[in-house]
Structure 1
Amino acid sequence: MSRVDRCKDDSLEDTRIDSGIDSSYRATLHSEERREPSVDFGGPRDKFSTADERVDSAYGSSSMTTDSLSEMVHDWSLRDGEEQQPQSPDELSEENILTSITEDGDTLLHLAIIHEDTHIAQELIQLFPKEVLDIQNNLYQSPLHLATYLNLTDVVRDLTRKGASLELQDQDGNTALHVACQHGQKECASEMTQDFCPSTLEPVLKIQNWRGLACLHLAALNRKHQIMNLLVKKGADLNIQEGTSGKTALHLAVEMHDIASVRLLLNRGANVDAAMFNGCTPLHLAVGRQDIAIANLLFQAGADTMLRNMEDETALDLADGNDDILAVFPFDDIQISGRSVVLS
């Protein structure tokens, strides 16, 4: 199975991220036109207009090719058990390794991770200063992004402990934690968050990608229940709204017909009556999708059946004609001119 296959997610097609990883890591990979974020989503679009704004702008370029650095990683791997392996930055500087990047923007650390050579990657993490650990390649992927894509938990742990930034965003606006939430890399997510208090993680958990999704949204969309639990324990805002339509994780779980996520979020204290930008609550969505089980669960959790969206519709209005859905709600109201009136 190729590295690309291992990076594929089983979620909906439009949630996939181009990891930029191939089993042979062809040099042509990054020469393709980079994808721009959708105009529908917010974000620093000027970041995509010039390479001068990248965090590695002061990092020296080199004539060394991807193949030559890849061969070097391979050679180091073969010498793994021998005493000939380089031990100091001075030896490395003879090949100008510490100040070299490939035409694709990759440092040797990126390449070691791509080749899944954990030992070399860990050696380089110890050798490199923190600033080098945060260099992003032409796809704006940091070493932490790539280690997460490939589920290299030990590398993620070492990068995090050395101080690698959790806030860097790739070309899709995803942080490494977004990647872990989308692909279900629970161990990686745990390593990235375990040494931080909720107040420190708060800004990281609020970051939205170019589709307007925070980490909790991605975990909900991809039914990653263990990661959802982890994020909540780390202080994720249960009611944070995604940036395009104002859905919370509860709205998304209802749309996915994921009753396990709905129950998890309600048990953790999610607002059952949270409103989207158009005024729709989770109950509106459940009734509109004729999901009787989730509608009943929301009602039992105290959902207000009388809240109106911008179309002036209540959940009961949307249930009109569906006896199965109507049976979920008590008959304690009457309608006058088509509008529900609560009986006192």
Structure 2
Amino acid sequence: MASDGCSKDELLEENRTDSGIESYRSIVKSEEPRDDLPAARDKFSITEERLDSAYGSSSITVDSLSEIVKDCRLSDEAVEEQTLTSELSEQENLLRTITEEGDTLLHLAIIHEETSFARELIQLFPKEVLDIQNNLYQSPLHLATYLNLTDVVRGLMEKRVSLELQDQDGNTALHVACQHGQTDCATDMIRDAPPGQLVPVLETQNWRGLACLHLAALNRQHQIMKLLMKKEANLNIQEGTSGKTALHLAVELRDITSVKLLLSRGADVDAVMFNGCTPLHLAVGRQDAPIANLLCQSGADTMLRNMEDETALDLADGNDDILALFPFDDIQISGRSVVSVRY
């Protein structure tokens, strides 16, 4: 329960993770609803909720945004000089407005895919404003990535916006690109960054415990996986719930392309989950002989035991194709085969 003198708005403000620029916090009052506005397109949902918290509820609507774009369009000279003339003083106040849902005009321009206007705002605003997150903790970079607005993403990266900001699901903008296959956006985000500088981003886990490489593997985004590997992403990073690596996830999906890719780049073939299972345990348990064979050819240890004291052989369940991959084990010492003859 809030202490005396602490309003709900103040509590919300304490929990915000945006830049906290108070000069940009003036609130737009809601207009009366209009029946002639077009229906909002429900294409921004990730968790059954709209990506833009203000879309459809903000006083800056599709129609009014078009008027703003028309009235506030900056000349090339103004953009180059990055200064506002006295004639733009009223527009400056509007450009600095944040809605009650936390969206800046840049958020709204991106949501409505006003790409040219968004690019002009990016040139106008300082970095601190470009990194403001709305009430769903989405930065302009999150929204531009989700909508695959590559020109906007490129403009934001030229202003060196933060890649480490996380939305309400714990996703960075790079997570969003990996999940939805926005390869060009991902490329623009990390192309010019030295590998070491990206470590915090590449190892960030969302609230489901997934790093960017996990999401790329789960969504079979092979090009993005290659891009992350080029930037020295940790191939053996474990997701936070069960300790699976990207190789475990690829095996579970029966995605032999990802399995080959990960193994060729040096992923640990014997990486263990929290329950002790290796990728080979998972492949054998799923009766996936081609992937099990690939893992064995890459040097997988067939005698490793999980927490249930099972080797991969124990999970073969009479499958001749799987059994043919394992050594003849009638002769054992301390539970380990001493004969390595294959069928």
Report the TM-score, using the length of structure 1 for normalisation. 0.80
Pair 1:315-2:307 in alignment: no
Q: Please point out which of 255, 258, 281 is paired with 1:284.
A: 281
Matching residue of 1:162: 159
User: How far 1:80 sits from its partner (Å)?
Assistant: 9.4
Stretches of structure 1 that go unaligned for 5 or more consecutive residues are 1-48
Return the letter of the residue paired with 2:15.
E
Considering only CA atoms, is the larger Rg found in Structure 1 or Structure 2?
2
CA contact (8 A) 2:19 2:132 kept: yes
Q: Please point out which of 28, 39, 52 is paired with 2:14.
A: 52
Matching residue of 2:39: none
Render the CA deviation track for 1:58-114: whole Å, top value 9, x for unaligned. Answer: 331322442436444312555799969986545554141233111211000000000
Render the CA deviation track for 1:320-342: whole Å, top value 9, x for unaligned. Answer: 322221122343x2266994432
Which has the larger displacement, 213-222 or 157-166? 157-166
Pair 1:342-2:338 in alignment: yes
Q: Which fold has the larger relative contact order, with Cα–Cα distance below 8 Å and residues 6 or more apart in sequence?
A: 1
CA contact (8 A) 1:287 1:318 kept: yes
Number of residue pairs matched? 295
Matching residue of 2:108: 111
Q: Please point out which of 50, 74, 79 is paired with 2:66.
A: 74
Matching residue of 1:153: 150
**SS of 2:60 mapped into structure 1:** helix
CA contact (8 A) 1:216 1:236 kept: yes
Distance 1:234 1:105, change over 3 A: same
CA contact (8 A) 1:79 1:85 kept: no
Matching residue of 2:126: 129
Q: Please point out which of 120, 141, 149 is paired with 2:138.
A: 141
Render the CA deviation track for 1:287-325: whole Å, top value 9, x for unaligned. Answer: 011111100000011100011111111101111322221
Matching residue of 2:190: 193
CA distance, structure 2, for counterparts of residue 63 and residue 86 of structure 1: 26
CA contact (8 A) 1:151 1:185 kept: yes
CA distance, structure 2, for counterparts of residue 71 and residue 129 of structure 1: 27
Cα RMSD after superposing both structures: 2.5
Report the TM-score, using the length of structure 2 for normalisation. 0.80
Return the letter of the residue paired with 2:125.
F
Return the letter of the residue paired with 1:112.
A
Distance 1:185 1:168, change over 3 A: same
CA distance, structure 2, for counterparts of residue 336 and residue 286 of structure 1: 24
Distance 1:249 1:281, change over 3 A: same
Matching residue of 2:241: 244
Stretches of structure 2 that go unaligned for 5 or more consecutive residues are 1-10, 31-57
Percent identity over the alignment is 69
Q: Please point out which of 5, 28, 38 is paired with 1:63.
A: 28
